Amino acid sequence: MRRVNPANLLTLARLLAAGPAIWAILDGRFTLALVILFLAGLSDAVDGPLARRRGQVTRFGARLDPVADKILLSGSYLALWVAEVLPGWLVAIVFGRDLLILAGAACLMAFTPLRDFAPSLWGKLSTVVQVIAAVILLTAAACPWPPLKGLAAASIWAVAAATLWSGIHYAHHALARLRRPHPAL
């Protein structure tokens, strides 16, 4: 199956949108960043269904999609921190959880026969909360309306709670899998 298809091009465009989105945030152009992130979000909503409907699901696209999402979201969070829209402690929680998950998966792959590490419902929910918070924070930065400031503050705590909980859930799930007997490869 060809790697170059409309769905994979949309995913690639989302990956390439990370640079302009980060630049817009760092330059204080929060409305432009919102537009870029909105268009990237649309591409994320369309690429998977488009690939399935056209029978063009590829391993390349399946691997590129989460990478594009993570780079866009992580880059936006770092830029929001540098732009002083987001507190550093929250960025540390988000990146810390991701690094612990990657390190845990690497250890499991190195020392056990485990190879399947599907995202959990809590991990997906954490990502959704992070995306919603980024939109709220950018909107509040673009339009300093007092109710938005309160919503932005609440979204920071929601991200902290969802991220910490999903990290705890991943750790608990990994430990539970280690306790189960595994057939040899």
Which phi and psi angles does 3 have, rounded to 5°? Answer: -75, -30
> At 125, which amino acid appears?
L
Per-residue pLDDT of the chain (185 residues; tens, 9 = 90+): 567 888 888 889 999 999 999 999 999 999 999 999 999 988 888 888 888 888 888 888 888 888 888 899 999 999 999 999 999 999 999 999 999 888 888 887 888 877 777 778 898 899 889 999 999 999 999 998 888 999 999 999 999 999 999 999 988 888 887 777 655 54
**Count of Cβ atoms closer than 10 Å to residue 27 Cβ:** 12
Query: What is residue 118's DSSP assignment?
Result: P
SS3 48: helix
Burial (CB count <10 Å: 0-12, 13-18, 19+), residue 141:
buried
DSSP string, 143-184: S--HHHHHHHHHHHHHHHHHHHHHHHHHHHHHHHHHHS----
Structural domain spans, the chain? 1-71, 85-185
Is the separation of the CB atoms in 18 and 71 below 8 Å? yes
pLDDT at 185: 46
pLDDT at 183: 59
- Copy the structure tokens of residue 61: 């696209």
SS3 7: helix
Give CA–CA dist 47/122, Å, rounded: 23
DSSP string, 55-114: T---HHHHHHHHHHHHHHHHHHHHHHHHTTSS-HHHHHHHHHHHHHHHHHHHHHHHHSS-
- Copy the structure tokens of residue 169: 């859930």
